[in-house]
């Protein structure tokens, strides 16, 4: 963990901000590259990318505040401090999607083809951006325990020895930087589930899937729907390992992001199946 990249006098450059900016930049450049291949105007994609960046940052912060509304009512000064680290990814994704579709229609771009151009760039940005979370210590995991299924199940008390005993495994993360504990609340000197890295690897896997499926598309918008399906699934399960405050719904059974994933994932899957069948029925018989 390396939250501070360097300092220039009173100016502090945080690693998180640099990596998030890099993620957005490379995601937009990748989308512009794909736009050329799809005969879409790269300049329009650049404008769209900038709108998406604003929507992602604003939406993530807004959902972060809404999820922790009671806390921020009691500590309004903490709202400004929250600008140092990220928001809730789903909030950014939803607002960025809404603003993006608005701009796509306003610019008279084909919706399905345009969002397909954006989807791999979003996954690439997620892959890089989550290393920013790792460097800052945010989005941290629960204390690492054995076995793993303790995280998602209720274990009888007579088995408590097995799920309370810290696991001796090489992939646990132990943070030690007092700065990130002071600013974000990251637990120190405790092995944690590597949720930031799992999120990053999920982004990489989704990116590879989208690249492989690009040549096999049967309808416009397929890649974007696949992104939503796979991201929702990965986010739902990784959430069980998250240890940071993320909002609790239904008595703590689900986090806010899990609830959103249960809406976005199945809805996207239903649309995907419908569009796939429609495209198959429309194809000429061989």
Mean pLDDT across the chain:
86
Least confident residue range of 48-62, 98-112, 155-169: 155-169
pLDDT greater than 70 at residue 154: no
Across residues 152-160, what is the average pLDDT? Answer: 46
- Separation of alpha carbons 107 and 87, rounded Å: 29
- Kindly state the percentage of the chain with pLDDT values over 70: 85
pLDDT greater than 90 at residue 25: yes
- Kindly state the percentage of the chain with pLDDT values over 90: 54
pLDDT greater than 50 at residue 285: yes
Across residues 217-224, what is the average pLDDT? Answer: 95
71: nearest Cα among 279, 215, 200, 248: 248
pLDDT band at 48 (very low <50, low <70, confident <90, very high): very high
- Indicate the domain borders of the chain: 4-282
Query: Tens of pLDDT along 271-283?
Result: 999 999 998 887 6
- Separation of alpha carbons 154 and 104, rounded Å: 46
Q: Which two tokens stand for residue 220?
A: 């416009």
- Separation of alpha carbons 18 and 258, rounded Å: 28
């Amino acid at each position: 963990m390396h939250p501070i990249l360097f300092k220039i006098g009173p100016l502090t450059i945080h690693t998180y901000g640099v990596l998030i900016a890099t993620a957005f930049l490379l995601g937009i450049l990748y989308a512009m590259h794909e736009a050329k291949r799809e005969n879409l105007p790269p300049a329009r994609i650049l404008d769209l990318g900038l709108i998406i960046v604003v929507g992602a940052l604003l939406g993530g912060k807004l959902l972060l505040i809404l999820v922790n509304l009671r806390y921020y009512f009691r500590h309004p000064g903490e709202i400004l401090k929250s600008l140092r680290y990220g928001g809730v990814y789903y909030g950014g994704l939803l607002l960025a999607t809404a603003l993006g579709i608005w701009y796509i229609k306003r610019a008279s771009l084909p919706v399905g083809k345009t969002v397909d151009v954006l989807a791999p760039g979003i996954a690439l940005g997620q892959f890089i951006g989550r290393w920013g979370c790792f460097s800052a210590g945010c989005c941290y995991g629960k204390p690492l325990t054995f076995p793993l299924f303790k995280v998602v199940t209720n274990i009888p008390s007579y088995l408590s020895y097995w799920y309370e005993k810290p696991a001796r495994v090489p992939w646990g993360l132990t943070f030690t930087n007092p700065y990130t504990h002071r600013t974000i609340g990251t637990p120190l000197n405790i092995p944690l589930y590597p949720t930031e890295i799992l999120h990053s690897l999920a982004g990489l896997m989704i990116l590879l899937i989208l690249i492989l499926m690009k040549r096999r598309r049967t309808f416009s918008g397929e890649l974007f729907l696949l992104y939503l399906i796979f991201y929702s699934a990965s986010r739902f399960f990784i959430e069980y390992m998250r240890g940071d405050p993320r909002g609790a719904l239904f008595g703590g059974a689900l986090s806010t992001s899990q609830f959103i994933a249960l809406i976005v994932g199945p809805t996207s899957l239903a649309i995907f199946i419908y569009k796939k069948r429609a495209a198959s029925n429309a194809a000429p018989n061989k």
